[in-house]
Structure 1
Amino acid sequence: MIHLSDTAARRPKVFMWMSGLLSALLIVLVVLPTLWPGSFGLLQPLRIDTDPENMLSEDEPVRVFHNRQKKDFALYDMVVVGVVNEDHPEGVFNQKSLNDIHALTEYAKSIQWQDEKGETQGVISVDLMAPSTVDNIEPGGPGVVKFEWLMKTPPLNEAEALANRAKAQNIPLLNGTIVSDDGKAVALYMPITAKNVSYNVVEKLKSKIAEFDGNDQYHITGLPVAQDTFGVEMFVQMAISAPLAMLLIFLLMWYFFKKVSLVVSPMIVAMVSVIGTMGLLVITGNTVHIMSSMIPIFIMPIAVLDAIHILSDFYDRYPQYRDRKQTLKHVMQELSKPMLFTTLTTAVGFGSLALTPIPPVQVFGVFVAIGVVMAWFFTITLIPAYIMLMPEERFADFGLDHSESDNNSLMARFLSSLGRLTYSGAKVIMILVFLLVGVAWVGVTKIVINDNPVKWFAPDHEIRVADRALNERFAGTYMAYLVLTGDQKELGLAGFSEKLIQDMTTSNLAPLQQLAPEVAGQTGQATDKEQLMSLLVQKVEDRLDKASDTDYDAWDKALSWVEGYLGRAETFKNPDVLRYMAGLQAYLQERGLVGKSNSLADVVKTVHRELFQGDPQAFRIPDSRGAVAETLITYQNSHRPQDLWHFVTPDYKKSNMWLQLKSGDNRDMAAVVDQVDRYFQDHPAPQGLTHDWFGLTYINVIWQDKMVSGMAEAFVGSFAIVLLMMTVLFRSLWWGILAMIPLAFTIGMIYGIIGLIGKDYDMPVAVLSALSLGLAVDYAIHFLARSREMRKKYPDWQTTAQAVFGEPARAITRNVIVVGVGFMPLLLAPLVPYQTVGVFISAILVLAGVASLTILPALIRIFESILFKEQKEKEVA
């Protein structure tokens, strides 16, 4: 490493040109394939992916199941448009508002385009749900149901507008979904071909909405919208907040080192490191995901840290040598080993994320680790090269004024006092540390694991505003799907025959019990189930024809039983199953997290009511399979017969219950899952009914759980590796353990604070442990390595501490201030993950620095005899 820095100092132009050309080449390799995809062979264009579904690998069972169910039930991701009117006493149910809503719906049907592959993208018009595209269901006479468009044409007057509301509120499938709970707002549900087209769809909708001049408020939300919008805005964020952070870092370094021209060098290192890392990520075919979009923000502080150590030491030592080469040689000799090991430990910390089961987190960890190594290489080469390219006369008045001693500044005086305090008050400091650890433990126990893509935006962002507005008025805009499946065991002919005879024998119908032995003796005559049932039907019909008036009813019931027997495989025509579903829906509604649910049971009950002239008492599940089948056949006469297959498969063996949640928080979805499990446990389901989940809201829970467990495993593994590295570095287990203490304290305090302030444990917070591991150990390595070297020059720790709290402590403090304060501009970001990262990068750096400058010297004071045992023995000898 020293040789590499020396080579860069002797050939500075070569290294500067090489880094510049490498950066330019990577930019070209990213830009050209992105502008002209497919024109550059194997080179990959820039690809953006903000889909949380891709936090799971493609072969993850829950993801495979999710996609299969979407296909089975013909479901698509949706853009939700809510229309609210605060001025009109009837809300949007006035002539003007409904005319605009009708116009917007017609326009939405036309939002389609051809992508580069020639495939149609946009809104799937046939499944669009709006007042003008859904059916009103009402009686058409005795035993007849009439289906007509709820709002076929815009209302001609206020009375027609109110009539539309009354009709919609009478249909459970629409009330609380299309029409708000208070009856004054409307929601449009626009299924889209793919999640990544939602941003374009929303922009087109906004252009149409801009043409309306009424008092209506249009709110657009939905998980696909949030995810796609985040993808667009995160690039804006990267282009604004990151440069602002670097500007503040630059100004702080200018304040410390006085030379504008000199402090440009860390900026160059950070810029080249970021370009190199992101360039490699793109040209290797990796997508820029939510996680990888934060790579520059993680690389920049790490890239600047070592540069500040070099500049700080150079600033302090230059007045002694008055020669750049000699000063650099001294600086690199002092810092080479600490910088190498801090680089390795930081790379290990982030590289450990490759062990998590989350693909985007793996990519994030690997490329931050690569970026860390790049930053180290550019630091030890470009900083010396840059210094050597500066004219010697620029350093005439450069450096710390040693003539006034090292205590000539506020920082120096403070650190000197701190050094004395850590020696005299070592035990008090450790008592306080133990108290803080206790408080932190209380906070850790309060941590709540939770995430919600909509909450990635600031509270005043239009998506958050829309989310609040619609979930206040409607049953919920977050969809979760519960799949119910009947007993899937398929019996062969022999098994079917055996079960048939058993069911006939145990039935409460005497004719069937009478026929059972006869049928049992003739089952060999049938070649399949259908033929066997035909034989049985023929036998029952023969008996029915010859039956006396007394026995006729019994044989007639036996014939109905036989005719419906094969249909028993159609689980979701069973009234008992449908009643069970209705009971589950009522149970969830009572619990409060599910705003509303829709299922096949609601379809059956609604149509059954209208078959009985709209009698409220008929809003129930009919008592027989035949009656259920009649309601379903009737429903298929509507304008939207395909809607039935959103709730049940054509073989009626699998059904889908739609749950609308007012919250997309993982903890709420997890609570609903627990509620369903509890219901199935307390209420045994008929016909071997089983359940499972799919939908984006549920997938978010799964990848979050995987991230938590994966991050914990990765951290434990990397902690052990770093401990081993520290032991090797210091050639002592005791010093290795000592180096890990600031890390353990920092992580404990950070997560304790998170729990105490009620901050959710979300995606950005989950990766902070890796950042903590890298940065907290950085300060500890520098402090301990310099302390051990300086101890060789002094007789005891008391005098050594005075020297350690000179230049080494100043370098650490400058780092803490520059990078800790430098990333505060991220607090102004409109994207919450960037705010979180900004806050906690600063908190980690400050806390790790404070821990290294207080806990470590206090522990060295307490265990001085053990830590310096070998050195004391040498001194005695």
Structure 2
Amino acid sequence: LHITNRYAECKGTPREKMAEALDSTGRAVLLSAITTIIGFISLALTPMKPIQTVGYSLAMGIVVVYVMTMIMVPNLTMMLDLKKPSHPPPKAFVAAVSVPINWTKLTLSLFLVAMLISAGYSRPNVEENVDLLEMAPEGVGAVDKMKTYSTEFEAGQPGFLLIDADVSASPEIFNTNFDGNDPYSKLVGIEELEGKCNQVNQTTAVSIVFLMKAIAVGVDLDGDPINEPIQDNEFVPDQIKELSAIIFDREVSGNGSFWWSLAALDQQPSGGTESQNFLINVFYNSLTLEMRNLFISEDYKQSLIYIDMPFMDVKSTENAVSQIDNYAQQDTGGVGVTSSKLIGVASVTIEVNNLVVGSQWTSLLFALLFTVFTLGLVFRDIRYAILTTIPVAFTVFMQWLVMDQGSVSLSLVTVMIGSILVGVGVDFSIHIANRVKELGGSIDAIRIACASTGMSLTEAVTVTIAGMFCAYYIPIPAIAPFIDVIIILLILAAISALILLPAIYSLLVKANISLTGGSGTMAKAAGLRRTLTREQGDIMDATLVMDSQDVW
């Protein structure tokens, strides 16, 4: 757009017009490509592989686009000999640029206030929230079923607590060499921790004790073997026979769980521990090896409590995990049962969220610093480079206000906004800065550069937004808020380049601080052209350009 628009403004043959257009905008186009690559490649600094892939892909895409642009656009433009009717800048752009030039301090104050509101008020309101299901595509059967499973069964983020406790049991009920290991007391501690975890909202905890409670022990007692010998014995008094009939002439049957049986044995004054060991050993052997190993290690030294919770936003997940970790660190049962912190999907989600927040600042700082460094090398003026980058920094600061007003949370997708803005938004400032420098850096140069470049920026923003609109067709819920924020901030980036940048330049010029330096700048500002003769390469003649065209 910038090359073709500049070509249409030039006079002469197609080759001459293209040479002038490339001489004027070629450096700005190269700078735009480099700074865009810097913005995108900064995403590679994040510790998240998906974001790194996005950064590398976008950066390589810009390289290809730049090469194809510089090869195809000049040739196609000269072949078609694009012509554009000469007309003054649109009144809207002239009026817009006049505001920061005439009301410089007021303009800067308004931008500063907006930036402070965004950074001070809106930033704390932006939630750092990663919702995994929000980043899954809609209309996919597996994803829809997972959402249903998560909602109806309150599951989907499995994890576990690793318990250090010896729950081994002896098969000998009369063990004279009993070593004092009491697996039942350890299991009581595990049950206590399991119960606490089940009290956490939307959390389900399952351990080996859960199986003991679920598996029943059948009890079937018949008193006939005792009663019949008594009744048949003629030497037994009738009173004893009647009492025996009352007590033993009956059958008793019932069901109780293994855990109920262990609790009943725990009430015995003696022999309870040995009996519990025997019964626990029977329970272990009644399980298949695969089932037993799901909960207990082969040496019975460690066991697992499985924790499951539905897919929730990170804040709710973090709250649940924090409560579980707090229970896990407590001395459960007072019998030496120790537990690790929660391990699993929920914990990983929280760590991902923390990495996303931390990496945002790293990539953003890298993008801004290297953009300033690159502009400084090309412009050969670090101060001018910093001034040119200020509108981009303003736009980055405004992302919090836009996200807060739109109730958009910081996620794996929106975390890339800052770096993308630096890469794309700095283009607007570069073209204006390059034109201001080319025209001499005066107030008139600022006014002419901003007004004449405004249409190209408008076209660039319009085309970029049109491309962004295609992303709305991606059936991923988290994409739409990301596109909304990007579109709004791109418009703000263009506005800040057209309003904030001339205000900054005007403030310095009015304070008699030169934007650019050197004799070449003075010559251009005075309407002079320096020519170097072939005969006298060491002599420079300053001649007045009598036929200089208006900048249009």
TM-score grouping bracket, smaller chain normalisation: 0.7 to 0.9
Q: Which residue is equivalent to 2:318?
A: 670
In structure 2, what is the Cα distance between the partners aligned to 1:658 and 1:688?
16
1:760 to 399, 409, 432: 409
Relative to structure 1, the CA distance from residue 789 to residue 349 in structure 2 (aligned partners, 3 Å threshold; closer, same or farther) is: same
Superposition deviation, residue 592 in structure 1: 0.8
In structure 1, what is the Cα distance between the partners aligned to 2:357 and 2:261?
46
1:417 to 76, 88, 95: 95
1:431 matches 2:109: yes
2:383 to 719, 729, 734: 734
What do residues 212-242 of structure 1 show as CA deviations (whole Å, max 9, x unaligned)?
A: xxxxxxxxxxxxxxxxxxxxxxxxxxxxxxx
* 8 Å Cα contact 2:190-2:337 kept in structure 1: no
Q: 3-state SS of the aligned residue for 2:158? A: strand
After superposing the two structures, state which structure 1 stretch, 740-749 or 580-589, moved more.
Answer: 580-589
Q: 3-state SS of the aligned residue for 2:88? A: coil
* 8 Å Cα contact 2:325-2:342 kept in structure 1: no
Q: 3-state SS of the aligned residue for 2:199? A: helix
Q: 3-state SS of the aligned residue for 1:763? A: coil
In structure 2, what is the Cα distance between the partners aligned to 1:587 and 1:472?
22
Superposition deviation, residue 872 in structure 1: 9.9
Superposition deviation, residue 722 in structure 1: 1.9
Superposition deviation, residue 468 in structure 1: 4.8
What do residues 722-748 of structure 1 show as CA deviations (whole Å, max 9, x unaligned)?
A: 222222233333222212212222122
What do residues 37-64 of structure 1 show as CA deviations (whole Å, max 9, x unaligned)?
A: xxxxxxxxxxxxxxxxxxxxxxxxxxxx
Q: Which residue is equivalent to 2:37?
A: 347
Q: Which residue is equivalent to 1:517?
A: none
Q: Which residue is equivalent to 1:446?
A: 125
Q: 3-state SS of the aligned residue for 2:306? A: strand
* 8 Å Cα contact 1:406-1:806 kept in structure 2: no
Q: Which residue is equivalent to 1:618?
A: 260
* 8 Å Cα contact 1:482-1:692 kept in structure 2: yes
Relative to structure 1, the CA distance from residue 737 to residue 629 in structure 2 (aligned partners, 3 Å threshold; closer, same or farther) is: farther
Matches for 1:526-605 after TM superposition, within 5 Å: 562-565=177-180, 568=181, 574-594=183-203, 596-605=204-213
Amino acid at match of 1:806: A
1:713 matches 2:367: no
1:868 matches 2:531: no
Amino acid at match of 2:499: T
1:483 matches 2:189: no
In structure 2, what is the Cα distance between the partners aligned to 1:620 and 1:852?
77
Q: Which residue is equivalent to 1:853?
A: 498
Amino acid at match of 2:46: T
1:473 to 152, 169, 180: 152
Matches for 1:65-104 after TM superposition, within 5 Å: none
Q: Which residue is equivalent to 2:57?
A: 367
Q: Tell me which structure has the larger Cα radius of gyration.
A: 2
Amino acid at match of 2:396: I
* 8 Å Cα contact 1:486-1:687 kept in structure 2: yes
Relative to structure 1, the CA distance from residue 715 to residue 482 in structure 2 (aligned partners, 3 Å threshold; closer, same or farther) is: same
Relative to structure 1, the CA distance from residue 363 to residue 422 in structure 2 (aligned partners, 3 Å threshold; closer, same or farther) is: same
Relative to structure 1, the CA distance from residue 643 to residue 854 in structure 2 (aligned partners, 3 Å threshold; closer, same or farther) is: same
Relative to structure 1, the CA distance from residue 656 to residue 423 in structure 2 (aligned partners, 3 Å threshold; closer, same or farther) is: same
Relative to structure 1, the CA distance from residue 367 to residue 391 in structure 2 (aligned partners, 3 Å threshold; closer, same or farther) is: closer
Amino acid at match of 1:577: K
Q: 3-state SS of the aligned residue for 2:56? A: helix
Q: 3-state SS of the aligned residue for 1:649? A: coil
Relative to structure 1, the CA distance from residue 619 to residue 406 in structure 2 (aligned partners, 3 Å threshold; closer, same or farther) is: farther
* 8 Å Cα contact 2:137-2:477 kept in structure 1: yes
Q: Which residue is equivalent to 1:651?
A: 299
Amino acid at match of 1:843: I
Q: 3-state SS of the aligned residue for 1:663? A: coil
1:815 matches 2:494: no
In structure 2, what is the Cα distance between the partners aligned to 1:391 and 1:757?
45
In structure 2, what is the Cα distance between the partners aligned to 1:723 and 1:632?
71
Relative to structure 1, the CA distance from residue 816 to residue 657 in structure 2 (aligned partners, 3 Å threshold; closer, same or farther) is: same
In structure 2, what is the Cα distance between the partners aligned to 1:311 and 1:620?
87
In structure 2, what is the Cα distance between the partners aligned to 1:620 and 1:772?
65
2:69 to 375, 379, 399: 379
* 8 Å Cα contact 1:820-1:843 kept in structure 2: no
* 8 Å Cα contact 1:816-1:849 kept in structure 2: yes
1:788 to 437, 454, 457: 437
Q: Which residue is equivalent to 1:52?
A: none
Superposition deviation, residue 617 in structure 1: 9.5
Superposition deviation, residue 575 in structure 1: 3.2
In structure 2, what is the Cα distance between the partners aligned to 1:458 and 1:632?
49
* 8 Å Cα contact 2:158-2:345 kept in structure 1: yes
What do residues 57-91 of structure 1 show as CA deviations (whole Å, max 9, x unaligned)?
A: xxxxxxxxxxxxxxxxxxxxxxxxxxxxxxxxxxx
In structure 2, what is the Cα distance between the partners aligned to 1:632 and 1:668?
40
In structure 2, what is the Cα distance between the partners aligned to 1:428 and 1:699?
48
In structure 1, what is the Cα distance between the partners aligned to 2:282 and 2:259?
21
In structure 2, what is the Cα distance between the partners aligned to 1:653 and 1:431?
68
In structure 2, what is the Cα distance between the partners aligned to 1:671 and 1:714?
28
* 8 Å Cα contact 1:443-1:755 kept in structure 2: yes
In structure 2, what is the Cα distance between the partners aligned to 1:482 and 1:365?
37
* 8 Å Cα contact 1:764-1:836 kept in structure 2: no
What do residues 797-853 of structure 1 show as CA deviations (whole Å, max 9, x unaligned)?
A: 1x2233113332211121112212331132232123443443344233222111111
CA RMSD in angstroms comes to: 3.5
- Higher relative CO (Cα under 8 Å, sequence separation at least 6) belongs to 2
Superposition deviation, residue 681 in structure 1: 4.2
Amino acid at match of 1:309: H
* 8 Å Cα contact 1:444-1:755 kept in structure 2: yes
Q: Which residue is equivalent to 1:165?
A: none
Q: 3-state SS of the aligned residue for 2:303? A: strand
In structure 2, what is the Cα distance between the partners aligned to 1:660 and 1:434?
48
Superposition deviation, residue 774 in structure 1: 0.6
1:327 to 9, 12, 17: 17
In structure 2, what is the Cα distance between the partners aligned to 1:376 and 1:431?
37
Query: Please, what TM-score do these two structures have when normalized by structure 1?
Result: 0.50
1:724 matches 2:373: yes
Matches for 1:136-147 after TM superposition, within 5 Å: none
* 8 Å Cα contact 1:609-1:617 kept in structure 2: no
Superposition deviation, residue 641 in structure 1: 5.3
* 8 Å Cα contact 1:354-1:365 kept in structure 2: yes
1:689 to 334, 338, 361: 338
Q: 3-state SS of the aligned residue for 2:298? A: coil
Superposition deviation, residue 576 in structure 1: 3.7
Superposition deviation, residue 417 in structure 1: 0.9
Superposition deviation, residue 602 in structure 1: 1.1
Q: Which residue is equivalent to 2:226?
A: none
* 8 Å Cα contact 1:313-1:807 kept in structure 2: no
Structure 2 residue ranges without an equivalent (≥5)? 167-171, 220-253, 267-272, 527-552
In structure 2, what is the Cα distance between the partners aligned to 1:628 and 1:602?
18
What do residues 640-689 of structure 1 show as CA deviations (whole Å, max 9, x unaligned)?
A: 55222212212122222222212243333332331122224454674261
* 8 Å Cα contact 2:331-2:337 kept in structure 1: no
Matches for 1:215-254 after TM superposition, within 5 Å: none
In structure 1, what is the Cα distance between the partners aligned to 2:480 and 2:142?
17
